[in-house]
Every structure is written in C-alpha cells, then in structure tokens.
A and B are shown apart, each in its own frame.
Chain A
Amino acid sequence: MSRSLLSIDELGVAGIQRILELADTMAEVNRRPNPKVPALRGKTVCSVFFEDSTRTRLSFETAAKRLSADTMTFAVSQSSLNKGESLRDTIETIAAMGVDAFVIRHASTGAPWLVDGWTTASVVNAGDGWHAHPTQALLDVYTVRTALNRTGGFEGLRVAVVGDIKHSRVARSTTAAFKALGADVIWVAPTTLLPPVVGETATDRLDDVIGGGDGVDVLYMLRMQNERMTEALVPNLREYTTRFGLTPERAARLAPQTLVMHPGPVNRGVEIAVDLGELPGSVINQQVTNGISVRMAVLYDLLSANPDSTSDIEINDAVAAARMEQP
C-alpha cells in the first residue's frame, strides 16, 4: 500500500483489485438511506484544482464527505497563483494547515508527482495534462466489473477506446487499467489523434471494431474537443462523427450486451450521435455513480496507509465503521 495514488502503473494489479473490492463495500454504504460512515472523521481532504472540472471535484468531495472527512477546496480562480505564487508555495501553505490528502487536478503532466515530493500528505491525481487520471480508470473498470459481474478479472474481454487518444489522460489510464486486469484494448482514431508512438493495437476503422453484432464487449467513447479542428487534426466535426461517432446506424449494429462508456461530459451529436435511451448497453450514468464509491475506496485506502496522516482519530476498518452507524 502506498501513501498516494498517482497512476495506474504505480498502483499495480494488486492495488487495483484492492480498490475494487473496497469499492464494493463503499457501494453498499452508498445504497443505505443514510450513506455516511465515520471512517475518515477528523481527516481533511483538500481539492486543489488548477484546471476546471466541477464533476470530478464534486465526486471527490462527495466521497470524502460520505466518509466524514472535512473537505476544503482551492480553486485557481480564487487563488494567489495569478499573483505569481508558485505551485510549490501553494502546496506547502495548504499543507501547513494540516491537510491529510490533496486531490490534485493540473493541466501539466507530472504536477501531482511534484506535489507528492513536497508534502507528506497523501496525494490523489485527479488528472494531469494528457497523462493520467487513475480514479477515472478505476471507476471505469469497476463499472465493467459490476455490470458484467466479472470479479475474477477481464481475461478475453475486448475493449475499444474511440476518439482523441493523443490528448486524453482518460484513454491512457483506462487502457492501462483494463490491460492490467487482462482485457484486450484496441484504440480507434485517425493517426492525427494518436500519440506519436502507439504502443497499443490501433485502427481507424470503427465499423470493423463494432462488427455485425460480434464486435467488442466494451465501446469506450472519448470526448471530442472543438479546438482540435483549429489544429488541423480533423477536418471538421461532421466528418469526425461520420468516421468515429456512435451514429444510429452503428448503434443498431451493436450487440445488445455491448457496454457503451464515456468519461463525460458527452458532446452530444459528435462522439455519441444517438439518444442514450436507445443504447441498452450504456453504463455512462453508472460510471458517475460508481465514481463516488471508487473515490471513497481510494481515499480510505490511502489515508489508512499514511503514517504521516495528522489525525489523532484511529481509522477503523471501513466495514466496522459502517456497522457502527447502522440504525
């Protein structure tokens, strides 16, 4: 067990499995009428978002609150960064207030690793640059695990990740997590939206991946951002949707058991050009719900492992803590 969660690679297969099992416990808590346990009472979790992401921040803060941790938010617009304060000074200042965990979102690759070097608090990478987004990857594999009831791993599972992989931390992390659990992952994108060196199987033919009802088990659609047009990476959104979007025609050919996933927010009419209600295999909402359980599992896992955590309250076993609160 480690003090911080920075990447799927550093977490490793055993770590992934540990989080997924813990997430089952947290999901049980979340199904209760009063979904709150005192497991992290006295702990302080600070979200430090140098890049806007209301969804991810809310998900983490909800997770922390359901474990009874105190939460703080540092948003860049309210910060002194605009006054020239360095990342290091910001982190050391907040750390001096007695924070047990930082949840960091930053537009620069590697920023959470730098933060991890400057504090003894736990650090959770909530997305850095185009690089990594490990809790998204964990909630993705957790969603597939529960939807398909595959607690034993993903051997033989076929996953296609479709879209702007080059600029996507989600694609990198979720690919790593699916592969760690034994799945086969294929990337679907034009060469302009792939990294310069592609270590995965890749194709620019989405129709081959969908097949005629015998295609992949998981279709993971990425968000297509408008600014990619101005960089001449694709000619226009219409052509992108024609080649790489989930159109009604493609949806009709999907096997009904094919899971459709998306990290959100969906660019309607672009990467998903079909009503989500018409996609029986869509687990996009479950991803959001599961995000809470998985982030609870991550925070619990880290804070119970960090000897430098400043709280004087013993963290009990999450399950025991949960029982204490049972009516």
Chain B
Amino acid sequence: MTTILIRGGTVVDPTGTRPADVSIADGVIVESIDGDPDVTIDGRGLTVTPGFVDLHTHLREPGKEEAETIETGSRAAAVGGYTAVVAMPNTDPTQDCVSVVDFVRRQGKIAGLCDVHPSASITVGRAGRQLTPFAELAEAGVRLFTDDGNGVQDPLLMRRAFEYSKGLGVTMAQHCEVEQLTGGAVMHEGDCCSHLGLPGWPALAEELMVHRDIELVRLTGAPAHFLHLSTAKSVELVRRAKSDGLPVTAEATPHHISLTDELLRSYSAIYKVTPPLRTMDDVVAVRDGLADGTIDAIATDHAPHVAETKEQPLDQAPPGMLGLETALGVCLAHLDMALADVVAVLSWKPAAIAGLEALHGRPVVPGEPANLTVFDAEEEWEVIPAQLVSKSRNTPFVGVPLRGRVKHTILGGVVTVENGIATR
C-alpha cells in the first residue's frame, strides 16, 4: 500500500488547529514513514482536515443514470472534498429494502471515490402509507431514514415511525413540507412570486412540519433530523427545541446560505429548488443558525438534472441544484465563522449525525483512518459548469464568487483527488 506525506500544512480537526506534517501508511495516519513516501503532497499554505461528510446527496442511481451515477456523483463528491456521502433514497426503485440499499453501497465501493452510505425511505416507495423494515435496514447499515423529496404528510404515520424506530439506533430525517400548502408551488411565497405571478411555497409549509415533528420528538423521545432548513422561523423552532433538550439535529444547504428568491426573476429553472430559495432575512437566519450551533451541518442536497429538464419553463422543470463541488467555496465565502467551525459543519458534525463517526470526521492523529481533505482556504474562484465532474450541469453558482478550493482528497489512504483532479 502506498505511503503519503502531507508536508507543511495546517491541520484543523476536532482537537484544534496546528501546523503538522501528516504521514499515511496502509490507509492509516502514522507517526512517520520508513524511507521515502510514495507520494508527497506540498501542504504549504493549505489546510488539512478530516474528509467532508455530506448528509444529503442525490446520486440518482438506480433509475436516473442519465443525470448522475453513483460513480460520477462519487467523483463530484471527492472533488468537493467529501470522503463520505449519504445517498438519498428517492431512487427508482426506491431505497426501501435491503437489496436496493446493498446495491447502492456496492456501486459506491466499486467506484471507490468516496464512502457511499445509503439512507432508506421511511415509507415503502416513499408513498406515505406503510413503514419500511427499519430493523432489517438498520442491520444492513442504514442510519438515516427519510422520504426526502416529500415529507411524511400523515401525522399518525409519522408518530408510528418515531415510536417504532426507537432503540434501533436510527434517525428519522424529515423533508419538511405540508403539501396541501405548496400545491403547484414554484418558488418562495413573497414579494417576488407575487410580481412574477407564480404559485408560492409559503414558509409556513415548512415551519408547520418542523413544529409537528418537534412535538412528536417530545412525545416519543425518538431523535429527529431536519433536512435543508430554509426559513428564519424553522431555525428558531429548532433552536428552542434544542434548548428544551430534545434530541434534534438540523442541516442547511449551501444555496440557502447564499442565494435568494430574487434570482427567479431570471425565469431560469436553474434556481428552482425545494425548499425554495427564500429572502435575505431567511438567508441571514440560517447563517446565524449555523454560527450558534442550532444547525449542525451543511448538507448539499446535490440534485443533478439533465440540461433539457432544466431548460423547461419554471413550473415544468424539476427542482434541485448541484452542490458537492462548490460547497466549500460557498461556505467560506458566505459564512462569517472561524475556519475550524466551518470545517466542523462540513465534516465531524455531519459524520456524527450519519453514524459515521468511527471512520469520518476523526482527529488527524496517528492511528486514525486516513480520510482527509486538503484545501486552499483563500483561493477565490468561479465555477465553470463545463468543468464539473458531475454528469449534470445545473449549478446555480455561476457568477457567484467562491472562496476556498479543494486540492487533494484522500480516502482510506488512497489519493482520490490530486491538484483538484480526480485520480480515477
């Protein structure tokens, strides 16, 4: 197995920030390497951290391989500095049984660019009627359950999901949207949608379900994770739930900390996403939630779509944006947080939510697995869609100044990205 030396970088990990050389042998961080390393990485001016962990990736395989495959999505993840991603279950067939979950995990291993951890749906076929076999799926390694793309609408069914999941070591992750309030909605309900004559997605539709699930957590004692929080009130609800000591966690996307609904004035479906881009007040509230720990993690909600579908008019195009390759650049450009705190919401905090804390988000010290990201925290750049390694091009960040760029990614002691380019 290869030996790697990262020389002269600054290590940022859960234990702090320090200048340190990092030696790797046999997939593990070691004190030192005997003889010359096989690979030497010049870490001067660069930051060395545990690999990033994405709680929310749509890899599209099986079912929509024209938009992304597990391989291309894993490559995009690696280029973005991720060593682990949680694959969302809204595939076709749905990740609602062990065989599909195993397939996704196996495809991830074959690609070998990033640890692919499948989540599973809460209900069979994400149809909102019948629970999936939580225990079988937990046995197969699933830690997060979600019907993402849809929220579980029925409060009784959701109560049962929380109750039944207790003790299995799994977490229900909710896409918060009361669908009766969002029928046909294209964008945030507010000033801009009123002017454009588009059906609005009111903030209330998210907040009602956040509130419902917080109360179900209070009732049942089961943990909950809130996906892609987008409104100021949602952040406040989670803040209060945490201060009440409830076992809740939350994530926010790069686009909800950087973009607003005003972009829809371009009529481009590139900016259509669920939940929708909100107002600047919401953006600021989500950033504040990240800064004070109310929101635990940045999760990309990487949602590839083929170009033709995004060229359709707003109401016909599917929602979703790419996120893996730009997440670090968006976070460092738009979050007024210390570098170590930004790395925390990209790495060890999401690793804990995903149940991956034994392998990812570890301290960068001898004996730990070599899942690492090396980035330039100062580089300013702009994304060029044609240069993305994702199979799709639907990034909303064209023309948005980004700061911070991943240079190298190491997965299990193997360099998966070198100088910004995937090695396989």
Contacts and interface: CB of A to CB of B under 8 A. Distances in A.
A167 B266 CA distance: 20
B312 A132 contact: no
Interface in A96-117: 106-111, 113-114
Interface string B195-207: 1111010100000
Given A86-B308, A197-B190, A106 B313 contact: yes
Interface in A161-219: 167-169, 172, 195-199
A66 B6 CA distance: 77
A143 B267 CA distance: 31
A106 B267 CA distance: 13
B314 A108 contact: yes
Contacts of A196: 189-190, 193-194, 200, 202
Contacts of B99: none
A123 to B, nearest CB: 13
A167 B195 CA distance: 11
A88 interface: yes
The main secondary structure of chain B at its interface with chain A is loop
A194 to B, nearest CB: 8
B194 A198 contact: yes
Nearest to B189: A196
B403 to A, nearest CB: 30
Interface residues of A, number: 24
Size class of B's contact patch? 20 to 34
A4 to B, nearest CB: 13
A86 B191 contact: no
A172 B197 contact: yes
A129 B198 contact: yes
Contacts of B198: 109, 129-131
A107 B198 CA distance: 11
A250 B193 CA distance: 33
A319 to B, nearest CB: 36
A87 interface: yes
Nearest to B313: A108
Contacts of A131: 196-198
A122 B267 CA distance: 18
B136 interface: no
Contacts of A172: 195, 197
Given A86-B311, A110-B267, 8 more contacts: A87-B312, A109-B313, A114-B313, A132-B197, A172-B197, A195-B197, A196-B202, A197-B194
16 contacts: A87-B311, A107-B315, A109-B197, A110-B314, A111-B267, A113-B266, A114-B267, A129-B198, A129-B315, A130-B197, A131-B196, A132-B197, A172-B195, A196-B190, A197-B193, A199-B194
Report, nearest first, the 8 A-B pairs whose CB atoms are least far apart.
A110-B267, A108-B313, A130-B197, A195-B194, A131-B197, A197-B194, A113-B267, A111-B313
